[in-house]
Amino acid sequence: MDENLKKLQNIFRDILDDENLEITESFSQKDCEGWDSVAMVQIILAVESEFGVKFTTSEVANTRSVSDLLKKIS
């Protein structure tokens, strides 16, 4: 598994409180009921902290999937 994807998986496991969660690049909000707007805030802030990036408000609004997050941090 790609290192960035692995770090994202750890973030998702922590925030969504599911230690067995397996994510792929195509994993998106529609695949996961727990990935709501509040979880999105936690995920974005955790990604910013982990990868040293900053999302603009429009980038946050347009983030829907793990793929979107990977594009930002790559």
Partner 1 sequence: MLLHHIGMLAKDLRAEAERLRGVCGYEIVSGEIEDSVQTAKVMFLKLPQTDSFLELAAPLGENSKLARALKTGEKLHHLCFQTDDISADLKNFREKGFLILCEPVAAAAFKDRKIAWVMDSQKNLFELVESGSGELPLKV
For partner 1, the binding residues (CB under 8 A) are: 36-38, 41-42, 44-46, 55, 57, 60
Residue with smaller CB distance to partner 1, 56 or 74:
56
Residue with smaller CB distance to partner 1, 20 or 37:
37
To the nearest whole angstrom, how small is the minimum distance from the Cβ of residue 49 to partner 1?
Answer: 8
For the chain, give the longest Cα–Cα distance: 31
**8 A C-beta contact, residue 46 and residue 11:** yes
To the nearest whole angstrom, how small is the minimum distance from the Cβ of residue 71 to partner 1?
Answer: 18
Main-chain phi, psi angles of 26, to 5 degrees: -85, -5
Main-chain phi, psi angles of 28, to 5 degrees: -140, 175
